[in-house]
Structure formats: structure tokens, C-alpha cells
Amino acid sequence: MSEPLGPVLILGARSDIGRAMAHAYGAAGRPLMLAARNAATLEGDARDLRLRHNVPVSVHEFDVLATGEHSAFANALGMLPETVVCVAGLMTPQWQAERDFAAADLMMRTNYVGPASILGEFANRMEARGRGTIIGISSVAGERGRASNYIYGSAKAGFTAFLSGLRNRLSRKGIRVITVKPGFVYTRMTEGMKLPGVLTAQPAEVAAAILRAERRGCEIVFTRPIWRFICTAIVLLPEPVFKRTRL
């Protein structure tokens, strides 16, 4: 499959994975559209990407929580990207989210409601055009509710289901929908957590896996294949056994 040459819109471009993806796509010759809150702070990244990869780079103000503005945001771009990637996310400690619903609500809206809103906008536009790729960064945490992060996991489970349904709806319309479940990643969001090295990827590793998936036509992406087996095992555990685990 030849790689499309159209622009890539990265929603959440200030995140570690978003930055890594910008470099991966830029190195592949793709024009870049970087979107995040306080977009002016992305100008340094944009200059570096232009110099390093010799590709056009634009920056755009975007708030994943401002769902009422998402249609206007898509219209204001002036062109419809070939690929849209949503990297927006938030992980609040479980103990805080289960005692403070405002924190839980923010996490659920950031990880599910906002991403579903903006990707739905682009899905409709791509459907009318007849081509495009939508990529959502979900999580292995959404495979089953675990005591240690079930509120974050519930939002990611919803997002995974949304992407699955979107893929089913658009599969015969020329639109590809890719669900990414990176597993543990060394980022600012996981800073301070004790992560198992064999299961933990670098942002550049995640970006390379996503670019490879788009080229090869993959629809479900685990950064490291071992996560597919781990998730399958967790899902298949009988409920009485699962309740005795410390996950």
C-alpha cells in the first residue's frame, strides 16, 4: 500500500506521543497540522519540524472539551486532512477520581466524550469525500474494569467501542479507522509511576507502530505484541477469579 501524501492533523500535539507522531509523519514527508490548547506554544515545535523534515507545518487552537466548537474548528482548517489522529487524554489518580466526581467527569470527558465528538465531525466529512484515515489513541485499560483505574478505564472502554462502531459504519465508505492501545508508555502522564520495562514503550516506538499500521492497513494496534496476549487473558478470567486479583 502506497502512503498517502495528504496532511496529518494531530489533536493533542503537545503530548509526548503527539510530538513523536509529528516527527514520524514529518520524516515520512507528510504535511502536518498541529492542534492543542494554547497553540502558540507549538510554534517552536513547528519550526523544528519544518527545518528537520522540510514539510509544511501549521498550528491550530483546539480544546477537546469544547465540543460545541468542534464543528467550527473543523471548518476553520480550510482543508480536510487525509489523516486525523486524536492523542488527547488525561489520567487522574484513581483514588482522587473515586472521591471527587468533578475529577472523574473531567477524565471521562477528556478521554471519551471530547475525542468522540471531534472524530465524529471528521468522520462525517471524510465520508462525504469518500476517503481518509481516523486514528484514536485508546488504552489497554479499557479491556476490563480493574480496581486500580476503572474510571480511566471506563472512559477508554467507551472510546474503544466508539472507534469500533465507527470502523464498522465506515468500512465500506473508503474510510479507515484505527484503534491504538499502546500499553504502558514513558510519558509525562506516567512520570513517577513504577512501570515494567519489558511492557513499557517509548513515545517514538508508539509513533512508529501507528505509522506502520496506517501503511499496512492494520485496524487494531498494540505497540508491543505481548499486550494482545495479556489483554486476552484478562478478559477471559472468570469473574470470581478476577475479583481476587490485584490489578
Catalytic sites, residue numbers: 152
- For domain 8-242, say whether CATH 3.40.640.10 is its number: no
Mean pLDDT across the chain, nearest whole number?
92
> pLDDT digits over 95-145, tens only?
999 999 999 999 999 999 999 999 999 999 999 999 999 999 999 989 999
* pLDDT score at 230: 87
Average confidence (pLDDT) over 65-76: 97
Give the helix ranges, DSSP H, for the chain.
Answer: 16-27, 43-53, 70-76, 94-97, 101-108, 114-129, 150-170, 203-216, 226-236, 239-242
Average confidence (pLDDT) over 168-191: 86
Query: Coil, helix or strand for 181?
Result: strand
Average confidence (pLDDT) over 8-21: 96
Residue 220, beta-bridge partner list: 179
> Could you tell me what percent of the chain has a pLDDT over 90?
77
Residue 161 to residues 9, 37, 223, Cα–Cα distance (Å):
22, 26, 19
* pLDDT score at 197: 66
Four-residue CA torsion sign, 190, 193, 202, 229: negative
32 — pLDDT class (breaks 50, 70, 90)? very high
Residue 245 and residue 247: Cα distance in Å, rounded? 6
Average confidence (pLDDT) over 87-93: 93
Q: What's the predicted TM-score (pTM) here?
A: 0.92
Average confidence (pLDDT) over 41-52: 96
> Could you tell me what percent of the chain has a pLDDT over 70?
95
> pLDDT digits over 145-167, tens only?
999 899 999 999 999 999 999 99
